[in-house]
Amino acid sequence: MLRRLWIFPVFLLLGITACAAPAAPASPTPRPPTPTSMPAASPTPAGVPPQVILKNFTFRPAELEVTVGATVEWINQEESVPHTVTSGSPDSPSGVFDSGRLRPGDSFRFTFNQPGTYEYFCSIHPRMRGRIIVKPMPASGYDY
Protein backbone atom coordinates (compact mmCIF):
# COMPACT_ATOMS: atom_id res chain seq x y z
CA MET A 1 0.00 0.00 0.00
CA LEU A 2 2.86 2.30 0.75
CA ARG A 3 4.17 1.98 -2.75
CA ARG A 4 0.89 3.21 -4.12
CA LEU A 5 0.87 6.28 -1.90
CA TRP A 6 4.00 7.77 -3.46
CA ILE A 7 2.43 7.58 -6.96
CA PHE A 8 -0.32 10.08 -6.13
CA PRO A 9 2.04 12.95 -5.13
CA VAL A 10 4.18 12.32 -8.24
CA PHE A 11 1.18 12.59 -10.57
CA LEU A 12 -0.09 15.60 -8.66
CA LEU A 13 3.27 17.32 -9.00
CA LEU A 14 3.44 16.52 -12.73
CA GLY A 15 -0.07 17.91 -13.25
CA ILE A 16 0.74 21.16 -11.43
CA THR A 17 3.99 21.56 -13.37
CA ALA A 18 2.21 21.03 -16.69
CA CYS A 19 -0.40 23.64 -15.86
CA ALA A 20 2.21 26.14 -14.74
CA ALA A 21 4.34 25.78 -17.88
CA PRO A 22 4.16 28.86 -20.08
CA ALA A 23 2.11 28.38 -23.21
CA ALA A 24 3.86 28.72 -26.53
CA PRO A 25 3.27 32.23 -27.85
CA ALA A 26 0.72 32.40 -30.63
CA SER A 27 2.23 33.45 -33.92
CA PRO A 28 1.01 36.93 -34.84
CA THR A 29 -1.28 37.21 -37.82
CA PRO A 30 0.76 38.78 -40.62
CA ARG A 31 -0.69 42.04 -41.88
CA PRO A 32 -0.18 43.24 -45.41
CA PRO A 33 1.84 46.44 -45.70
CA THR A 34 -0.23 49.59 -46.02
CA PRO A 35 0.70 51.35 -49.24
CA THR A 36 1.40 55.04 -48.88
CA SER A 37 1.40 55.69 -52.59
CA MET A 38 0.39 53.92 -55.75
CA PRO A 39 3.01 51.32 -56.68
CA ALA A 40 4.92 51.73 -59.90
CA ALA A 41 3.86 49.55 -62.78
CA SER A 42 5.71 46.28 -62.68
CA PRO A 43 7.27 44.78 -65.77
CA THR A 44 4.78 42.99 -67.98
CA PRO A 45 5.38 39.27 -68.53
CA ALA A 46 6.33 38.29 -72.06
CA GLY A 47 3.31 37.85 -74.31
CA VAL A 48 1.02 39.97 -72.14
CA PRO A 49 0.39 43.52 -73.36
CA PRO A 50 1.04 46.41 -70.98
CA GLN A 51 -2.24 47.18 -69.23
CA VAL A 52 -4.05 50.27 -67.99
CA ILE A 53 -6.89 49.63 -65.55
CA LEU A 54 -9.96 51.91 -65.48
CA LYS A 55 -11.11 51.92 -61.85
CA ASN A 56 -12.51 54.52 -59.45
CA PHE A 57 -12.70 57.04 -62.30
CA THR A 58 -8.93 56.90 -62.93
CA PHE A 59 -6.53 55.33 -65.41
CA ARG A 60 -3.98 53.18 -63.55
CA PRO A 61 -1.19 53.86 -64.22
CA ALA A 62 -1.95 57.39 -65.37
CA GLU A 63 1.30 57.38 -67.36
CA LEU A 64 2.82 54.38 -69.09
CA GLU A 65 6.07 54.13 -71.04
CA VAL A 66 6.38 51.58 -73.86
CA THR A 67 8.53 51.07 -76.96
CA VAL A 68 7.44 51.36 -80.59
CA GLY A 69 5.35 48.37 -81.64
CA ALA A 70 3.86 47.77 -78.17
CA THR A 71 0.17 47.02 -77.86
CA VAL A 72 -1.44 48.56 -74.78
CA GLU A 73 -4.63 47.11 -73.32
CA TRP A 74 -7.13 49.19 -71.31
CA ILE A 75 -9.54 47.21 -69.10
CA ASN A 76 -12.65 48.70 -67.50
CA GLN A 77 -12.80 47.25 -63.98
CA GLU A 78 -15.56 49.51 -62.70
CA GLU A 79 -18.59 47.71 -61.26
CA SER A 80 -21.24 49.61 -63.19
CA VAL A 81 -19.71 52.61 -64.96
CA PRO A 82 -18.84 52.81 -68.68
CA HIS A 83 -15.77 54.71 -69.90
CA THR A 84 -13.96 55.49 -73.15
CA VAL A 85 -10.30 55.68 -74.09
CA THR A 86 -10.06 58.59 -76.52
CA SER A 87 -6.79 60.06 -77.81
CA GLY A 88 -6.12 63.78 -77.41
CA SER A 89 -7.77 66.04 -74.88
CA PRO A 90 -11.43 66.82 -74.13
CA ASP A 91 -11.28 70.09 -76.07
CA SER A 92 -9.23 68.58 -78.91
CA PRO A 93 -9.59 64.83 -79.60
CA SER A 94 -6.78 63.75 -81.95
CA GLY A 95 -8.56 60.84 -83.65
CA VAL A 96 -5.56 58.50 -83.30
CA PHE A 97 -7.60 56.00 -81.28
CA ASP A 98 -11.02 55.76 -79.67
CA SER A 99 -12.35 52.73 -77.87
CA GLY A 100 -15.98 53.69 -78.00
CA ARG A 101 -18.02 52.95 -74.89
CA LEU A 102 -16.37 50.30 -72.70
CA ARG A 103 -18.85 48.65 -70.35
CA PRO A 104 -17.56 47.09 -67.11
CA GLY A 105 -15.40 44.10 -68.04
CA ASP A 106 -14.75 45.33 -71.61
CA SER A 107 -11.24 46.01 -72.88
CA PHE A 108 -9.62 47.91 -75.74
CA ARG A 109 -6.19 47.43 -77.38
CA PHE A 110 -4.14 49.77 -79.49
CA THR A 111 -0.68 49.23 -81.06
CA PHE A 112 1.69 52.22 -81.00
CA ASN A 113 3.80 52.24 -84.18
CA GLN A 114 5.24 55.77 -83.88
CA PRO A 115 7.33 57.24 -81.05
CA GLY A 116 5.82 60.17 -79.18
CA THR A 117 3.60 61.16 -76.29
CA TYR A 118 -0.06 60.22 -76.60
CA GLU A 119 -2.49 61.99 -74.29
CA TYR A 120 -5.89 60.40 -73.81
CA PHE A 121 -9.07 60.86 -71.77
CA CYS A 122 -12.53 59.45 -71.12
CA SER A 123 -15.10 61.28 -73.25
CA ILE A 124 -17.82 60.42 -70.71
CA HIS A 125 -15.78 61.64 -67.72
CA PRO A 126 -13.36 64.26 -69.17
CA ARG A 127 -11.48 64.63 -65.87
CA MET A 128 -10.09 61.13 -66.41
CA ARG A 129 -6.81 61.58 -68.27
CA GLY A 130 -3.78 59.50 -69.08
CA ARG A 131 -0.61 59.46 -71.14
CA ILE A 132 1.33 56.85 -73.11
CA ILE A 133 4.97 57.67 -73.84
CA VAL A 134 6.25 55.66 -76.80
CA LYS A 135 10.04 55.40 -77.01
CA PRO A 136 11.94 54.33 -80.14
CA MET A 137 13.29 50.79 -80.22
CA PRO A 138 16.79 50.66 -78.72
CA ALA A 139 19.59 50.70 -81.26
CA SER A 140 21.00 47.25 -81.90
CA GLY A 141 24.57 48.50 -82.19
CA TYR A 142 24.95 47.22 -85.73
CA ASP A 143 25.44 49.36 -88.83
CA TYR A 144 23.92 47.88 -91.98
User: Which range scores top for mean pLDDT: 28-42, 97-111, 128-142?
Assistant: 97-111
Stretch 68-97: mean pLDDT: 98
Q: How far is CA 71 from CA 17, 49, 65, 113, 132, in A?
A: 69, 6, 11, 9, 11
pLDDT at 29 over 80: no
Domain ranges of the chain: 51-135
Is the pLDDT higher at 122 or at 36?
A: 122
The type of residue at 139 is A
Q: How confident is the model at residue 138 (pLDDT cuts 50, 70, 90)?
A: confident
Is the pLDDT higher at 115 or at 48?
A: 115
Q: How far is CA 29 from the centre of its chain?
A: 23
Pick the CATH number of 51-135 from 2.60.40.420, 1.10.287.620, 3.30.450.80, 3.40.980.10: 2.60.40.420
